[in-house]
Amino acid sequence: MSDENTNTVNKKRIYSAIQPSGQLTLGNYLGALRNFPKLQGDYDCVYCIANMHSLTVRQDPEQLKERIYSLLALYLACGLDPEKNVLYLQSHVHEHAELAWILNCYTYNGELSRMTQFKDKSSKHADNINAGLFTYPVLMAADILLYQSDFVPIGQDQKQHLELSRDIADRFNKLYGQTFVVPAPLISKQGARIMSLQDPDKKMSKSDTNTSNFVLIVEDPASIMKKFKKAVTDSEAEVRYDEENKPGVSNLINIYASVTDKSVPDVEKEFEGARYGEFKMAVGQAVIDALAPVREKYEELMGDKGYLEKVLKEGREKASAIASVTLRDVYEKVGFVV
Ligand code: TYM
C-alpha cells in the first residue's frame, strides 16, 4: 500500500504521540510539542495521547483521566487546530492493541532488550518490570505504522524506538509485500535534548522526583524564574557552548536558542561578557514569555470539558477510519479470515 493511496490529497503524513503520565515539561515542549503546529497545513498530521503507554508505570486512575484532558488542552493551547489535525486518544482506537499483538510476533527479544529506555525504566521501577514495559516500543511501532506515517517529530530520546519501528516495518514489508510506509524521524537541531536544570548530565523528565530539575509548561512565572536562577552552571564565567565541559551552561544556551529561534553562536555573542546571573535571568524570562500564551489558553480550555470531549469524539472517528484500513490489510496479509 503506498502513501499516495492512504493519505488525503497526497500530503505526506506526520504522526506523533505524547504520554499523559505526568505534567509536561519544557523538554516535551521544545523537543516535540512546539514543533507540531508548524507542520499543520503542509502535512496531514495525526497526534495521539498515548494513554496505553502510560500504564507501563503505575498510574492513579483519577489522575490519569485528568491528565488525558490536560494533554489534549495543551495540544490545543500550543496552536493545534482540530479541524486541520487529527487529535485522538490511543485507547479509543482498538486497532492499536490489535496491531501491537501482531507486530510482537515480528519483533525479537534481543531487539527489545537493547532499548536504552527499557534499561533505564526497569532500573527506576525495579519493583514493577512488567511485560508492557518490555514490549512498549512495539506498541509505539503499531501507533506509527497504523497511520502509514512518513515523518515522526520526536525528541532525541525516542530515536532508538523509531529505528526499531522502521526495522519492524521493513521486516513485515519484505515478508508480505508493501504494507507499511517506513517512517523517518524529524528531530529538530535545537531543543531535541533538554537536560535537567540541577543535573545537566541527565535529560529533563516529567517523572523526575526532584521538581527543581524541570520546568512545567504550565508553571507559574515566579516559580520558573526561581528554577532558572538556581540552575547549575560551572566555575568559569563564560557563556560558551561546550556540552562536555560546560553541560549546564550549554543546556541553558540551547533552551534560550530554542525559545527565541536564535542560533547558538548568536546566543554566545549576545551574552559575551555577561555574568551567569544575568544570563540565567534572561533565559528564565525568555521561557516565561514563550510559555505565557500557552498557559493562558490551556487554563481557558481546561474550564470547558464539553469542548474537549467533542474534540476527542471527532478525533476518534477520524483516527479509526485510517487505522481500520491498515489493520484489515495486515489481517489479510498474515492469513486471518476477515
Ligand atoms: P514522552 O511522552 O516521554 O515524550 C513526548 C515527546 O517529548 C520528547 N521529550 C524531550 N525532548 C527534548 N528534551 C527532553 N528532555 C525531552 N523529554 C521528552 C520526546 O522525545 C517525545 O517526542 N514513547 C513516546 C510516546 C509515543 C510516541 C508514539 C511518540 C508513543 N507512541 C508514536 C512518537 C510516535 C514517549 O514516551 O514520549
- Secondary structure of residue 332 in the 3-state scheme: helix
pLDDT given at position 207 = 82
Q: Can you give the length of the chain in residues?
A: 338
| Residue 57 near residue 99, CB atoms below 8 Å | no
Tell how far the Cα of 49 is from the centroid of ligand 1, in angstroms.
11
pLDDT digit string (tens) for 26-44?
999 999 999 999 999 899 9
The dihedral of CA 296, 302, 304, 307: what is its sign?
A: positive
CATH of domain 3-191+305-334: 3.40.50.620
Q: How far is the CA of 50 from the centre of ligand 1 (A)?
A: 10
Task: Please name the helix (run of DSSP H) or strand (run of DSSP E) that holds residue 13, with its range, or none.
Answer: strand 13-18
Give me the pLDDT at residue 199, please: 96
324 CA distance to ligand 1 centroid (A)? 25
Question: The C-alpha cell of 55 is what?
Answer: 500504564
Question: Beta strand 85-89 with 44-49: parallel, antiparallel or unpaired?
Answer: parallel
150: alpha, beta or left, given left = phi > 0 and alpha = psi -120 to 50?
alpha
Q: Decide if 159 is catalytic.
A: no
What pLDDT does residue 142 have?
98
C-alpha cell at 154: 520526536
Pocket of ligand 1 (CB under 6 A): 15-19, 27-28, 30-32, 50, 53, 140, 143-144, 152, 154-155, 157-158, 161, 192-194, 203-204
Q: What does pLDDT average to over the chain?
A: 95
Report residue 274's pLDDT band, with 50, 70 and 90 as the boundaries: very high
pLDDT at residue 294, as a whole number: 97
Same fold, 3-191+305-334 and 211-298: no
Amino acid, res. 167:
D
Work out the average pLDDT over 94-100: 98
pLDDT confidence tier of residue 3, bands split at 50, 70 and 90: very low
Whether the predicted pLDDT of 218 surpasses 70: yes
Of 11, 12, 206, 333, the active-site residue reads 206
pLDDT at site 10: 81
d(C-alpha 47, C-alpha 87), whole Å: 5
Nearest ligand 1 atom to the CA of 154 is 22
pLDDT at 8 over 60: no
Quote the pLDDT of residue 305.
96
- Partners of 216 in the beta sheet? 25
Q: Is 318 a catalytic residue?
A: no
CA-to-CA separations, 329 to 168, 176, 250, 324, in angstroms, rounded: 16, 10, 48, 9
Grade residue 276 by pLDDT with cuts at 50, 70 and 90.
very high
Give the residue among 24, 17, 16 at the shortest CA–CA distance from 205: 24
In which residue are the cell numbers 503524513 written?
Answer: 13
Measure Cα distances from 220 to 32, 75, 109, 216, 230 in Å. Answer: 21, 19, 44, 9, 16
> Strand, helix or coil at 16?
strand
pLDDT, one tens digit per residue, over 78-93 is 999 999 999 999 999 9
Model pLDDT for residues 162-192, shown as the tens digit of each residue: 999 999 999 999 999 999 999 999 998 889 9
pLDDT score recorded for residue 190? 86
- 22/338 Cα distance (integer angstroms): 39
Q: Distance between CA 272 and CA 267 in Å, rounded?
A: 9
Rounded Cα–Cα distance for residues 257 and 192 (Å): 12
Q: Can you name the residues that pair with 16 across neighbouring β-strands?
A: 47
Quick one: pLDDT at residue 9?
62
Quick one: what percent of the chain has pLDDT higher than 70? 97
CA distance 119 to 321: 36
* 121 catalytic per annotation: yes
Domain residues of the chain, as ranges? 3-191+305-334, 211-298
CATH superfamily of 211-298: Tyrosyl-Transfer RNA Synthetase (1.10.240.10)
Cell of 101: 499483538
In order of 28, 78, 153, 163, the CA distances from 157 in angstroms are 11, 22, 12, 12
